[in-house]
Structure 1
Amino acid sequence: MREILFDTETTGVFPDHEDPKLCDRIVEIGCVEVVNLERTGREFHAYFNPDRDVPEEVVRVHGLRLEFLRNHKRFGEVVAELLEFIADAPLVAHNASFDQGFLNAELRRCGRDLLGNERFVDTLAIARKRFPGASCSLDALAKRFQLDRYGFDLAARKGAGGHGALVDSRILAEVYLHLKGGREQRLAFDAGEAATENAAVLRAVEFVRRQPRPAPLAALVTAEEQAAHAAFIEKLGENAIWRKVG
């Protein structure tokens, strides 16, 4: 099954506003393709010129200033390439409603069809159900699943500008894999198959006594081999272990 893990960085938290100039915009998007929960290596990444300022408190999160962003294309200039990459795959995000709102706001400005709720999978909701009462932020889950073992620099994310859409998508892909059971799982995509396997595990083990052979098997050792073996044992002496156990 093909899925797209994605993340966005923005200028704020309000994608819609009565004054278009005050609408927050996407400044970066990162997408990672997975098939059967494993990363394929295919990715999509882009920065966008938001045509508005980037507040300093937001810069401290992702490190993207307008001086850098104004040298990149606007969302509408890249939207066709983005939609071609994601195609009809489910879109997996952490706190998906946030990213969905921003993505649809940008699509609306471009005159494109919006993406329905059925397209999105929220890993935050999955994590909260699995770990009730625990912190389920992406950083907390990355630490819980020890993603530093896979080369992710989790310490760097604590500093200013430590978040980025592509690296967050890569982390999310690993988190999603662990939330679904990890690499050690045997993926049973058919519910009937899973139920059959569970029943087999629970079934009591039955031991069947093997009946003896009606006649012993004939010896395969020849008389010459037996004589050679006996002569060899004689050379070992009286204290040979073979004489004690043979």
Structure 2
Amino acid sequence: MTRQIFLDTETTGLSPESGDRIIEIGCVEMVNRRLTGRHLHFYINPERPNHEDAVRIHGLTDEFLADKPVFATLVDEIMAYCAGAEIVIHNAAFDLGFLNAELKRLGRGLFTDHVSGVIDTLVMAREMFPGKSNSLDSLCKRLEVDNSHRTLHGALMDAELLAEVYINMTRGQDALLMDADSEGDSQGQGGSQFTAIDYSQFQLPVVEPTAEEQEAFQKALQDLDKAAGGKSLWTSLETVL
């Protein structure tokens, strides 16, 4: 079973080293490339003011966040939700910097200590579309993911969009024939299951051409032979056969 969590955060500013904090976290769960509907979403009191520029991006004011829980009261639920999963983030360095800073305040180690790995879709996009804009909005447009409802940045909304973008970016990596209901193979590993088919049980009809069809076919071959200057191969092959 492959469990992936698409994660996004909104923050009071750009620098966790300068004391900026997480104010929103949104997570979307996918198991075996299927969205489960089991999301995680919190608004968080950052215990410090927002930067004005940040508010213009996410719209989350200090007044709105004042009565929200602080990160310390949510950390257990957040980490339990993410535990052991592969985390997918767009521009992972930014979000990981803030998550690590929050965990460090609580003596909880690094975020990557608790998960199986991290995929950065920004890195993926730069490899797939070099020299182009690879923001989430640009990828939505390029990969035909509807983001018309995204007027402000929001962690849960952006995580949902990222999941769709990721599916479209990685669509060619899976086999075309898949058992959609399979949760994995008999060894407990993810993958497709196939059933061998004995084609000897089928009797295929043989449709003979009519006289008119045979005549038209021979004429077409003669025309091709004439166009090739009498050097067509099928006449010599017919002689050998």
**TM-score, structure 2 as length reference:** 0.69
Number of the residue aligned with 2:4? 3
Q: Confirm whether residue 174 of structure 1 aligns to residue 156 of structure 2.
A: no
Once residues 185 and 71 of structure 1 are traced to their aligned partners in structure 2, the CA distance between those partners, rounded to angstroms, is 48
Number of the residue aligned with 2:32? 36
- SS state at 1:32 partner: strand
Once residues 177 and 24 of structure 2 are traced to their aligned partners in structure 1, the CA distance between those partners, rounded to angstroms, is 33
CA contact (8 A) 1:95 1:125 kept: yes
- SS state at 1:147 partner: coil
Number of the residue aligned with 1:94? 90
Number of the residue aligned with 1:165? 155
Aligned residue type for 1:128: R
Aligned residue type for 2:17: D
Displaced runs of 4+ in structure 1, greater than 2 A? 115-119, 154-157, 182-190
Q: CA offsets per residue over residues 195-224 of structure 1, 9 Å max, x none?
A: xxxxxxxxxxxxxxxxx9xxxxxxxxxxxx
**In terms of Rg, which structure is larger?**
1
Aligned residue type for 1:181: R
- Cα deviation for residue 28 of structure 1 reads 0.1
Identity among equivalent positions (%) equals 50
Q: Confirm whether residue 126 of structure 1 aligns to residue 124 of structure 2.
A: yes
What stretches of structure 2 of length at least 5 have no aligned partner? 179-183, 186-190, 192-205, 207-241
What stretches of structure 1 of length at least 5 have no aligned partner? 18-22, 149-153, 195-211, 213-246
1:105–1:179 Cα change, 3 Å? same
For the aligned residue pairs, the C-alpha RMSD in angstroms reads 2.6
Equivalenced residues, count: 180
Once residues 22 and 47 of structure 2 are traced to their aligned partners in structure 1, the CA distance between those partners, rounded to angstroms, is 10
Q: Confirm whether residue 186 of structure 1 aligns to residue 176 of structure 2.
A: yes
Aligned residue type for 1:137: S
